[in-house]
Amino acid sequence: MMRRRRTISLAMAAVPLAWPGAARAQQPAAPDSLRLGTLQAEAVRRDPRGRQVGLLASQSALRLQSLDAERLPTFGVNAQGQYQSDVVAIPFRLPDGASPPLPPHDNYDAHLAARQRLYDPALGPRRELERAQLAESQARVRSSLFALRQSVNDAYFTALLLQAQRAELEAGVTDLEAQLRVADERMQGGAALPSETATLEAELLRRRQSLDELAASRDAALVVLGDLTGRSVTSADALALPDLAADVARARASLGDVRARPEYEQFARGREVLARQEASLGAQDRPRVSAFGRAGYGRPGLNPLAREFDEYWLAGVQVEWSPWNWGTTRRDREALEIQQQIVATDEAAFSETIRRGVVRDLATMDRLARSLAADDSIVALRERILRETRLRFTEGVVTSAEFVDRETDVRTARVARATHRVELAQARARFLTTVGLEVR
């Protein structure tokens, strides 16, 4: 009788030890836990493409400097010598009967030419076009970087799910170890067969194998996460389960107005580029005015009849205008209008893709929320059954195999609940990422 009471006492003392892993799984994350929003930001900062935003700005600044330089005067030096087979001849004689002098057949000229733009209507639109192209290029880079957030989500929640499942299995191992000590005492006292302890030992070995598999899979997911973020993530690092319910509720309330994805900015900048191109086309058809000057030395100079080398200079104003280009400008405008329609169809298709993804995420979140409500009831019922089975096991009424079955039922229910919690957080993070909102 004393042995039986001692056995019961050991079993009852083992009850609070059965759930430490589950308790840890429900506790708030430690302050130094890795957080999803932080890891997403680190992944974006680490990606080499992030440097392209600054590089594109530097590249555009150089182009703008070149455009500014077009306002400055241009200089050119030219020299040439030539021999021509015929020259200008005056078809009459002088009063004294002499023939007028003929210019030389060989000509030489060296001069410095300068040109200064006085009015160029295309220069301003070209500057605006360059700025619009820079904004579009930078928006395209941000769009490509945004995809990293979903990659971080996948690796993070894979590791987090395995972490939660491992915590539940560890709690089950602790419980089975406590019951193995009870069964071992009963076997030593002759109240149980060796098969009772063998059943528990086999189940413990199986669960430890599962723990090793989960640990290996989690380590692999952490390696991917570390590669994406550039930080060293080890198995000792805890991942925090993000609480995104409030953010999701706010996003759902204003879902029709949310256009936070960087792709929308890219589409807007693309339309701006097309508008600037159209303005530039119109400016090219307007007259341009330039001042020019030329100073040189040659034979002949400005007098075509002179036979001596002479200095010369000239200056003037030039107007350039091509009012007729055979419909080229009109066709270019039509091409730009077609491109505007292409951008609009791309944006509409992207919006449809986002809408379908949002519908899927919302349905998943609602389903998981309902599942979690049922999970709590299932776990509570399974735990009540297990408590009764544990007492009956300590009394020797049920076998180890039956106890393992009931404990497995509880563990399966708890793993399902932990899985649904992680999946709900993942669906919420995926929803926020899909609509373009940051995860905090």
* 208-238 per-position pLDDT tens digit: 998 999 999 999 999 999 999 988 888 888 8
Does any domain span residue 102? no
- Residue 99 or 5, more confident: 99
Is residue 295 situated within a structural domain? no
Summarised one tens digit per residue, pLDDT across range 7-44 is 333 333 333 333 333 333 344 444 456 888 899 999 99
In-domain check, residue 392: yes
pLDDT at 192: 66
In a domain? residue 31:
yes
Which residues span the domain enclosing 194? 2-71+148-284+353-435
What is the share, in percent, of the chain residues with pLDDT greater than 90?
A: 56
Q: What are phi and psi of 389, to 5 degrees?
A: -65, -35
Strands 106-119 and 74-83, bridge-based pairing: antiparallel
**With contact defined as beta carbons under 8 Å apart, do 107 and 298 qualify?**
yes
Q: Would you state the pLDDT for residue 97?
A: 67
Model confidence over 325-355: pLDDT tens digits? Answer: 888 888 999 999 999 999 999 999 999 999 9
> CB atoms < 10 A from the CB of 352, how many?
10
| Domain containing residue 179: CATH number | 1.20.1600.10
Residue 104: pLDDT band by 50, 70, 90 thresholds? confident
In angstroms, the CA 341 to CA 319 distance is 37
Positive or negative torsion for Cα 143, 147, 153, 156: negative
Dist. CA 2–CA 189, nearest whole Å? 11
The values of phi and psi at residue 102, to 5°, are -100, 140
- Residue 324, domain member (yes or no): no
123 alpha-carbon distance from chain centroid:
35
91 SS3 class: coil
In a domain, residue 92? The reply is: no
Number of domains forming the structure of the chain:
1
In a domain, 358, yes or no: yes
Whether the upstream peptide bond of residue 16 has omega within 30° of 0, thus cis, is: no
The residue among 197 and 128 whose pLDDT is bigger is 128
In a domain, 384, yes or no: yes
| CA distances for 434 relative to 12, 352, 363, 419, angstroms | 50, 12, 14, 22
